[in-house]
Amino acid sequence: MNEKEETFKGFGNQPPPLILIVDDLPENLAVLGNILRNEGYQIAVANNGQQAVKIAASRKPDLVLLDVAMPEMDGLIASRLMKENPESENIPVIFLTARTDSSDVLKGFEAGAVDYIAKPFKSAELLARVATHIELKQSRDLIFRQKTELTQLLATKDKLFSIISHDLRSPFAGLLTMINIMVEEFDSYEKEELRVSMKLIRDTSDHMHTLIQNLLNWAKLQNSTLEYKPLKIHLKEEVRKSTDVLAMNSVKKGIQFSSSISDSVYIAADPDMLRIIFHNLLGNAIKFSHSGGTIQISCTTDQDLITLGITDMGVGMTQSQTENLFKPGNYISTSGTANEPGSGLGLILCKEMIEKMGGKIGVESEYGTGSTFWFSLPAG
């Protein structure tokens, strides 16, 4: 094994930890830097307290070795400033100091230090304490990530149960009730009454089918089991397929689609995900449009990005609604202009799929006038 491979032993597949060394004496920086580099650590240096505070916030090192006695801003002040900044508050600080009486050590801990090393130090002691505190930080970071992931999983479970208990249970109960009435009273139904009832059953079933599909796809995204397989897709043709599928909904409200997408535009996307995105965004445009309206579908190209816009002339949204529309945990359920139901899950699904494909999504809206939902994806 060569020297470089030996140097990085112990870090596994992770990049070497970054240590910020802070000292106003260049010779001290050089000595500390050589010791730590020989163990495979990455090094950043600062020769004063102000510089150390800025570097800690911007580069977020795994550990700070901070000299106490420095002109202008000593290590105690620098450490306090690091702990007051959310960007650097969790970075462990070890003081390097010649002052080892109990009152000086206590001041260091009060300033946010996790340990101190007395000058002149021994290399073995320095490396042992550095390794210990980096391992502790990595353990804390792992616990924090696991806690965050667990919180997200619990939120996913709660949302899943909420949708199943509310958005699925209510229409399903209504569907069963209507079918039971039709079975019991079938002989007394007029043809027109039967047609109206069957239409309502069809619409309710269609809504439940869409909701279940969104739920299944969303659950796959949360569990990272929905694969992303990008292909070169002819955008105009893909939009046409989606509007054809939604034609029954648009015709019922007398809504037309107007597309200005060029025949030459291709997009790099997963075809299944793209169809889900179109179904949700175009479906929402129909849902929130007034009868007799037009939905404009536009397309712009900027370098290697294709941006598609879907504009309706419907109810629109307030600024507060648009600001919270895509935030994690916010599922805004709003009925359409013909009382079409919704769970708010479709937009969250669109956002996560678009980001998985390397794109962005946004909305521009004016209450009472209409909305434009746009998303960008790589050109094909």
- Work out the angle at residue 18's Cα, subtended by the Cα atoms of residues 13 and 19, and round it to the nearest 5 degrees: 145
Give the β-pairing of 294-302 and 256-259. Answer: parallel
List of residues 6+ apart from 119 with CB closer than 8 A: 96, 97, 98
Extract the tokens encoding 55: 């570097």
List of residues 6+ apart from 329 with CB closer than 8 A: 155
- Inform me whether the pLDDT recorded for 322 exceeds 70: yes
Sorting pLDDT into bands at 50, 70 and 90, what band is 106?
Answer: confident
Extract the tokens encoding 46: 């600062």
Is the peptide bond preceding residue 17 cis, with omega within 30 degrees of 0?
no
Extract the tokens encoding 16: 């070497």
Strand partners, 373: 310, 363
Name the least confident of 200-204, 218-222, 314-318: 218-222
Tokens 């569907």 found at: 175
- Inform me whether the pLDDT recorded for 162 exceeds 80: no
Element (DSSP H or E) covering residue 259:
strand 256-259
Cα separation, 160 vs 364, in Å, equals: 29
- pLDDT for 5 equals 39
Give the β-pairing of 18-22 and 63-67. Answer: parallel
- pLDDT for 23 equals 92
- Exposed/middle/buried for residue 264 (C-beta within 10 Å: 0-12, 13-18, 19+): exposed
Cβ–Cβ < 8 Å for 313, 275? no
In this structure, the number of other CB atoms found within 10 A of the CB of residue 184 comes to: 9
Q: Which alpha helices (H) appear in the chain, and where do they start and end?
A: 3-7, 26-38, 49-59, 75-84, 102-110, 123-162, 169-184, 191-222, 235-245, 247-252, 271-287, 319-324, 345-356
Extract the tokens encoding 319: 């600024």
- pLDDT for 1 equals 37
- pLDDT for 217 equals 73
Cα separation, 90 vs 133, in Å, equals: 12
Q: Crossing angle of helices 169-184/191-222, nearest 10°? A: 150
Query: Could you write out the DSSP letters of every residue in 160-187?
Result: HHHIIIIIIHHHHHHHHHHHHHHHHTGG
Cα separation, 129 vs 80, in Å, equals: 21
Extract the tokens encoding 261: 């997408």
- pLDDT for 13 equals 67
Tokens 């667990």 found at: 150
- pLDDT for 78 equals 93
Cβ–Cβ < 8 Å for 285, 312? yes
Q: What is the CA radius of gyration of the chain?
A: 30
In this structure, the number of other CB atoms found within 10 A of the CB of residue 281 comes to: 24
- pLDDT for 285 equals 92
Q: What is the mean pLDDT of residues 53-76?
A: 92
- Inform me whether the pLDDT recorded for 259 exceeds 80: yes
Q: Domains in the chain, ordered, with CATH?
A: 3-121 (3.40.50.2300), 151-225 (1.10.287.130), 227-380 (3.30.565.10)
Count of residues in the chain = 380
Extract the tokens encoding 59: 């580069």
- pLDDT for 8 equals 43
Sheet holding 93-97, edge to edge: 42-46, 18-22, 63-67, 93-97, 115-118
Cβ–Cβ < 8 Å for 64, 22? yes
pLDDT in tens, 165-183: 655 666 677 788 888 888 8
Cα separation, 174 vs 179, in Å, equals: 9
pLDDT in tens, 333-347: 565 666 565 556 778
